[in-house]
Amino acid sequence: MRLTDLPGTGTRAARILSLIADGVHVPCTDGIIVADGVTVGAGTTLLPGTILGNGVTIGANCVIGPGSVLEDTQIGDDVELLQTYAEGAIIESGARVGPFARLRPGAHVGLGCKVGNFVEIKNSLVGAGSRVPHLSYIGDTDMGTGCNIGCGCQTANYDGRRKHRTRLGDSCFIGCDTTLVAPVALGNSAYIAAGSVVTQDVPPAALVIARARQVTKSEGRG
């Protein structure tokens, strides 16, 4: 949304009052801006500083904000979305997003997913019940259901010339500080040890340890 598209004070107040009349909770109107055509379901709470831009639809009984900015984004029912920037995204019912998450165009967060703080998702499907709790980048990825992505993980989708996709089956476990170098595919229930750099496909139910072996040497004196 461009600044020139933001509704004026009178129009903004009228839109907020219209939402309240439809059963939306607005405990404080400070900084809330709603574009024309936005729909919000009954029982949803809009917290201060929330900006709902063009093409936004929000289901019932959600919590949106504070300080969230949404544009061209569809949100299901019972979603909690805190301090999040989302553009061109789909967030299905029961998902929990934020705080401080960024959903770029093509991000699709499935039923009951968790997308936590300082997570960026771009052009990717996060399957139902999967979790990306914190400090990760998921780009150009097809993720199955029930996966868990550890802290500090990333899909390396760009080789300097082209973008490539990463594919995860269902119930994959990705240990902290792992890099999945696309194009790469992981079978169902694959388990990746923390600190790994994965460059080859992984069969189902396999354990991958892709890191240098630790070597500890005593200093030695005398």
Residues 50, 89: Cα–Cα separation, whole Å: 16
Residues 56-68 have pLDDT tens digits of 999 999 999 999 9
Residue 134 appears among annotated catalytic residues: yes
Confidence of residue 4 (pLDDT cuts 50, 70, 90): very low
* Superfamily of domain 1-134, CATH level 4: Hexapeptide repeat proteins (2.160.10.10)
Q: Residue 14: what are its φ and ψ, rounded to 5°?
A: -65, -40
HSE, CB side, 13 Å, CA atoms: give it for residue 194: 4
| Coil vs helix vs strand at 3 | helix
Q: What CATH number labels 148-210?
A: 2.160.10.10
Q: What is the pLDDT of residue 74?
A: 98
The model carries a pTM of: 0.93
Please give the average per-residue pLDDT across 165-180, as a whole number. Answer: 98
Residue 172 in this model has a pLDDT that exceeds 90: yes
**Of 25, 108, 134, 164, catalytic:** 134
Domains 1-134 and 148-210 share a fold: yes
- Which residue(s) pair with 154 in the sheet? 137, 179
Residue 73 in this model has a pLDDT that exceeds 50: yes
Residues 87-113 have pLDDT tens digits of 999 999 999 999 999 999 999 999 999
Residue 45 in this model has a pLDDT that exceeds 70: yes
